[in-house]
A and B are shown apart, each in its own frame.
Chain A
Amino acid sequence: MNELRIGVFVCNCGTNIGGFIDVPAVAEYAKTLKGVVFAQTNLFSCSESGTTSIKEAIRENNLNRVVVAACTPLTHEPTFRAACMEEGLNQFLFEFVNIREHCSWVHMQQKELATEKAKELVRMGVARAAFLETGEMTDVDVIPSALVLGGGISGITAATALGGIGIKTILVEKEKKLGGILKDLYKLYPTGEDASKFLDKKIKSLMKFKNVEIITSTEIKTIEGYIGNYTVTVKKGEKEKEYKVGSIVLATGAVSYEPDKSKGKDFFNFDGKKIISQFQLENKLKKGAIKEKNIVMILCAGSRTPERIYCSRICCMTSIKNALLIKKANKDTEVTIVYRDLQTYGTDYEEELRKSKQAGIRFIRYNEVKPPTVDTKKKSVMVYHELLGRDIELPYDLVVLATPLVSHADVENISQKLKVPVDEHGFFLEAHVKLRPLEFATDGIFLCGCAHWPADITESISQALGAASKAAIPLLMGKVTVEPIISYVDEDKCSGCGICEENCPYGAIKKDPEKKKATVTAVICKGCGICATNCPEQAISIKHYKPEQVFAQLEAAFKEE
């Protein structure tokens, strides 16, 4: 391609842009820019008629670069890329300028300035377009099997689902037995089933699938690779074994917070005997009837505090469940629940709350400013009663603390091995809180259950089925397509310092031990550019965002043509 022939298409987006920006003026301005041989406005560039007219313009004007000034690449980049390709123009010679989210929507009150800004954005896009280069998508083969990490109810469900649709699956559990937290529970809300019976049933249906291999007492030693192509080394005692998988479901769950007995003084006088956690109570219930006559349950013990600000979601219902079980076994037992807010959300849990009130369980609200205290001498829980305006005394022979679910102590370890992030509380961080709750920013790894955030069984099961479905997609497609917008290394400049390797959040760039030069694995690289900005030799650049492409755009931002 010798002569630059840039076409600019400025979109009205109905009135979304046209209502606030003088779109014809922007198109006229575009015509004055260097390299631009054609410019027009569209009412909706993305519509059938919009793309048809773009295609016509490419053909008739022999365009070799296309700039569309419209909405966001997130919604329509594929549309316009496709239009270019249909006219035989490489899709990477297309440039998107966002004049909606970045302009008309945020400057609705200042129409003239918005128009000026739109012109500048278009000028920048055109400057960049002049330096664009062609690129090709590549297909990468996929190993059609999956790894599920963690064998709690989430992992069991995900593995059963994957097995059920015919995918070879490896389930790795670090404990001797499958089941996670459920192994230690007595009965389950909201169904009232036996936790162990429920678990047995689930494990049995998992066992039916011959294509699922379950390995317990096993931990992950290393995970290398990328979507479609992971090599997982597991360790069972001294023995090691290697597996190849295409995608991974992370279901490592959480643990019930157990306070340190030696520090019990600072934690409602927790002693693990007369002052215990709900988790311990489950075990006690499993062993037989509760003999204590006065039971006080303190909610939000160790949660919703400055140090652990979150609500653990399941402990209100766990407390109500156990209170009801105790009350049902012996209606003369006094059970009092001391709470802050009751999290009986949804349909079933609100009903359980109603039942527990009918059963005579007493509820007293406390204010976090004056939390209850446990007086072990008087054997009373002291609660500041807001309505009465004074402390009241609740005699106890058993205090049960609703402690939150917290992350595993070794969560950092998994996070590093898989190169996926955790939040400040050690729960894994998904790609998007609202729209991609089961995915990581890294392709090929999916998330479910309490590893993500405290969840009840219903929610864990939903998420596990969902994660299995997501993990199955690349495996069933048989290939993944990667964009060429990735980092590449100029080996002549690379000094082999390895700074890029340290900084890459995805593990995509590594120092080749033989060549002593950085090398990039295309499928893993997200083109984020961190390596390029950190490279002291400026040996790295990102395709499609090369220095000359970015600088041309920047220069255009500051100069008037």
Chain B
Amino acid sequence: MMEAGRHPNINLLAYSEVKSVKGKAGDFTVKVIKKARYVNETECTACGKCFEKCPKKVPNEFDMGHGMRKAIYLHFPQGIPAIATIDKDNCFYFSTGKCRVCEKFCEKKAIDFDQKDELITLRSGAIVVATGFDVYDPTHLTQYGYGKYKNVITALEYERLICAFGPKKGELKRPSDEKHAEVLGYIQCVGSRSLKDNRYCSSVCCMHATKEAMLAKEHDPKAKSYIFYTDFRAVGKGFQKYIKRGEEDYGIKYIRSRVAEITEDEEKNPIIWYEDTVSRSVKRKKVDLVVLATTLVPRKDAPALAKVLGIELDDCGFFNTDPFTPTDTTKKGIFVCGYCQGPLDIPESVAQASAAAERAADVILAGSLCSQER
């Protein structure tokens, strides 16, 4: 992030959305709405005085609702660019006409309630789409009790809880009673690899569950983790070694199984009922906290964005590419990389991002489409 933010050739337009794309490879005209932050970008130093004083609290989306933020806020502390934003829908001044507390405390006089959305027109030779994924909402998969039992959370929520900058400052306190979660159950393929939900494998969750279980142990030596899986997908560089370390040094138990249902006891401890597919017997495991490895799905706005860009989606809803031209979309001059075109982990996304950059450079440097026809 820092590197991109600092690069002299990169003009970062955050809090902005692409509205329309016209033209063709080598010459696109892109209209972008730069949304009003109600804060002057050149003045704000993200000092934090405004969000300290702002009286309006809202659940923090970045922490998946496990913490609170103010109506004026930073998306997350390390975010680039570090500029405060007023969430108009929740700000007292915008709803009642009274407050302006932030304005009073901002030493840089950066607050600007009159700021307007700005329409910016860009011209570019090529476009790279890297819009990533959404996490699947598992509420309708009632067998897991997500939404019903407080101590059943998604992996992304878990990542926020265990994060040193997260709402619990890195202490793994479970939602129901703030008790330290020591026995953890991780359920894999939630919503994935299923004809009823998402047909595909998200590719990253077997590994992130292992990482999460390791983190639990590093935060609390008493932690015990049980990972309930179907096939364990550890195909990347060094991954098998990693899970071996998980088993041997971190005491992670990998259980090949099919989870049937999660129930809860009086103390709100989740109980995982599962069929051990190795011995084909039905077993149960009481845990303090359940972490669901939910599918990583195409973003909700992917169809709309595809329309704006004039590109196609594949059967799973990701931006369509051919397997052997992995960064080329169905429209010339528009390229993709990362999770928005299908499951990839970080190193794969990083490598593919360089690939998309190459394809884009090809359009711009070749100055014509000759080498496009590879």
Residues in A lying within 8 Å of B, measured CB to CB? 14-16, 43-44, 47-50, 74-76, 78-79, 105, 108, 160-161, 163-166, 190-191, 198, 205, 209, 304, 309-311, 313, 341-351, 354, 367, 386-387, 423, 427, 433-438, 448, 452-453, 457-459, 461-470, 472, 476
With both chains docked as a complex, state the minimum distance between the C-beta of B236 and any C-beta of chain A, in angstroms: 7
Report chain A residues within 8 Å CB of B236: 313, 453
Report chain B residues within 8 Å CB of A190: 323
B308 interface residue (CB < 8 Å to A):
no
Which residue on chain B has the smallest CB distance to residue A439?
B354
* Option from B324, B348, B350 in Cβ contact (under 8 Å) with A435: B350
Which residue on chain B has the smallest CB distance to residue A14?
B48
B203 interface residue (CB < 8 Å to A):
yes
Q: How far is the CA of A522 from the CA of B207 in the complex (A)?
A: 41
A–B pairs, 10, beta carbons within 8 Å: A44-B82, A74-B2, A75-B2, A105-B164, A164-B366, A347-B315, A459-B326, A461-B326, A461-B355, A466-B358
Looking at B231, B235, B359, the one whose CB has the most chain A CB atoms below 10 A away is B235
Q: How far is the CA of A457 from the CA of B326 in the complex (A)?
A: 10
A311 in contact with B324 (CB, 8 Å) = no
With both chains docked as a complex, state the minimum distance between the C-beta of B361 and any C-beta of chain A, in angstroms: 6
B199 in contact with A466 (CB, 8 Å) = no
A15 in contact with B48 (CB, 8 Å) = yes
With both chains docked as a complex, state the minimum distance between the C-beta of A101 and any C-beta of chain B, in angstroms: 11
**Known contacts A345-B235, A346-B200; A165/B324 CB under 8 A:** no
B244 in contact with A309 (CB, 8 Å) = yes
Which residue on chain A has the smallest CB distance to residue B78?
A16
Q: How far is the CA of A44 from the CA of B49 in the complex (A)?
A: 13
**Known contacts A160-B374, A191-B324, A348-B323; A165/B235 CB under 8 A:** no
B237 interface residue (CB < 8 Å to A):
yes
Report chain A residues within 8 Å CB of B342: 346-347
Looking at B342, B351, B352, the one whose CB has the most chain A CB atoms below 10 A away is B351
CB-CB contacts below 8 Å: B213-254 with A: 231-241, 244
With both chains docked as a complex, state the minimum distance between the C-beta of A398 and any C-beta of chain B, in angstroms: 25
**Known contacts A346-B203, A351-B199, A462-B326; A427/B237 CB under 8 A:** yes
Q: How far is the CA of A136 from the CA of B47 in the complex (A)?
A: 35
Q: Rank and list the top 5 A-B pairs by shortest CB-CB distance, nearest first.
A: A466-B354, A469-B358, A465-B355, A164-B371, A347-B200
B20 interface residue (CB < 8 Å to A):
no
B182 interface residue (CB < 8 Å to A):
no
**Known contacts A346-B203, A434-B346; A341/B231 CB under 8 A:** yes
Q: How far is the CA of A190 from the CA of B327 in the complex (A)?
A: 16
B14 interface residue (CB < 8 Å to A):
no
Report chain A residues within 8 Å CB of B326: 458-459, 461-462
CB-CB contacts below 8 Å: B146-197 with A: 164-165, 169-170, 193, 195
B42 in contact with A463 (CB, 8 Å) = no
Report chain A residues within 8 Å CB of B46: 14, 44, 47
Report chain A residues within 8 Å CB of B200: 346-347, 350-351
**Known contacts A44-B82, A459-B348, A466-B352; A78/B203 CB under 8 A:** no
With both chains docked as a complex, state the minimum distance between the C-beta of B182 and any C-beta of chain A, in angstroms: 19
Which residue on chain B has the smallest CB distance to residue A466?
B354
Report chain B residues within 8 Å CB of A14: 46-48, 77
A166 in contact with B327 (CB, 8 Å) = no
Report chain B residues within 8 Å CB of A47: 45-46, 82
B316 in contact with A347 (CB, 8 Å) = yes
Looking at A43, A313, A367, A462, the one whose CB has the most chain B CB atoms below 10 A away is A462
B318 interface residue (CB < 8 Å to A):
yes
**Known contacts A47-B46, A47-B82, A166-B365; A462/B371 CB under 8 A:** no
Report chain B residues within 8 Å CB of A463: 351, 355
B314 interface residue (CB < 8 Å to A):
yes
Looking at A345, A434, A453, A458, the one whose CB has the most chain B CB atoms below 10 A away is A345
Report chain A residues within 8 Å CB of B116: none
Q: How far is the CA of A354 from the CA of B357 in the complex (A)?
A: 34
Looking at A14, A344, A347, the one whose CB has the most chain B CB atoms below 10 A away is A347
B45 in contact with A49 (CB, 8 Å) = yes
**Known contacts A347-B314, A437-B350; A342/B231 CB under 8 A:** yes
Report chain B residues within 8 Å CB of A461: 324-326, 355
B53 interface residue (CB < 8 Å to A):
no
A310 in contact with B241 (CB, 8 Å) = yes
Which residue on chain A has the smallest CB distance to residue B357?
A469
B240 in contact with A311 (CB, 8 Å) = yes
Q: How far is the CA of A367 from the CA of B231 in the complex (A)?
A: 12
B343 interface residue (CB < 8 Å to A):
yes
A161 in contact with B362 (CB, 8 Å) = yes
Report chain B residues within 8 Å CB of A436: 350
Which residue on chain B has the smallest CB distance to residue A166?
B365
B311 interface residue (CB < 8 Å to A):
no
B305 interface residue (CB < 8 Å to A):
no
B231 in contact with A49 (CB, 8 Å) = no
B98 interface residue (CB < 8 Å to A):
no
**Known contacts A164-B371, A166-B365; A433/B237 CB under 8 A:** yes
Report chain B residues within 8 Å CB of A160: 374
With both chains docked as a complex, state the minimum distance between the C-beta of A223 and any C-beta of chain B, in angstroms: 23
Report chain A residues within 8 Å CB of B122: none
**Known contacts A347-B200, A347-B343, A350-B201; A161/B241 CB under 8 A:** no
Which residue on chain B has the smallest CB distance to residue A468?
B358
A165 in contact with B240 (CB, 8 Å) = no
Report chain A residues within 8 Å CB of B2: 74-76
Q: Known pairs A47-B45, A165-B362, A468-B358. 6 more at Cβ < 8 A?
A: A44-B46, A165-B361, A347-B315, A435-B346, A437-B348, A466-B351
With both chains docked as a complex, state the minimum distance between the C-beta of A476 and any C-beta of chain B, in angstroms: 8
Interface string of B278-295 (1 = CB under 8 A from A): 111000000000000000
Which residue on chain B has the smallest CB distance to residue A18?
B48
B355 in contact with A367 (CB, 8 Å) = no
With both chains docked as a complex, state the minimum distance between the C-beta of B56 and any C-beta of chain A, in angstroms: 20
Q: How far is the CA of A50 from the CA of B244 in the complex (A)?
A: 46
Q: How far is the CA of A464 from the CA of B324 in the complex (A)?
A: 12
B235 in contact with A470 (CB, 8 Å) = no
With both chains docked as a complex, state the minimum distance between the C-beta of A312 and any C-beta of chain B, in angstroms: 8
Report chain B residues within 8 Å CB of A466: 351-355, 357-358
A462 in contact with B355 (CB, 8 Å) = yes
A205 in contact with B374 (CB, 8 Å) = yes
Q: How far is the CA of A339 from the CA of B364 in the complex (A)?
A: 47
A465 in contact with B354 (CB, 8 Å) = yes
B108 interface residue (CB < 8 Å to A):
yes
B366 in contact with A43 (CB, 8 Å) = no
With both chains docked as a complex, state the minimum distance between the C-beta of B239 and any C-beta of chain A, in angstroms: 7
Which residue on chain A has the smallest CB distance to residue B337?
A462
B201 in contact with A469 (CB, 8 Å) = no
**Known contacts A14-B48, A164-B374, A345-B343; A469/B351 CB under 8 A:** no
Which residue on chain A has the smallest CB distance to residue B359?
A465
B347 interface residue (CB < 8 Å to A):
yes
A465 in contact with B233 (CB, 8 Å) = no
A437 in contact with B241 (CB, 8 Å) = no
Q: How far is the CA of A355 from the CA of B342 in the complex (A)?
A: 20
Q: How far is the CA of A253 from the CA of B358 in the complex (A)?
A: 21
Report chain A residues within 8 Å CB of B237: 427, 433, 452-453
B314 in contact with A433 (CB, 8 Å) = no
Which residue on chain B has the smallest CB distance to residue A304?
B240
**Known contacts A342-B231, A345-B235; A470/B354 CB under 8 A:** yes
With both chains docked as a complex, state the minimum distance between the C-beta of B341 and any C-beta of chain A, in angstroms: 10
Report chain B residues within 8 Å CB of A166: 365-366
Report chain A residues within 8 Å CB of B361: 165, 469, 472
Report chain A residues within 8 Å CB of B22: none
With both chains docked as a complex, state the minimum distance between the C-beta of B1 and any C-beta of chain A, in angstroms: 9
A108 in contact with B324 (CB, 8 Å) = no
Q: How far is the CA of A345 from the CA of B202 in the complex (A)?
A: 7
A78 in contact with B347 (CB, 8 Å) = no
A433 in contact with B352 (CB, 8 Å) = no
Report chain B residues within 8 Å CB of A344: 201, 231
A465 in contact with B327 (CB, 8 Å) = yes
Report chain B residues within 8 Å CB of A345: 201, 203, 233, 235, 343
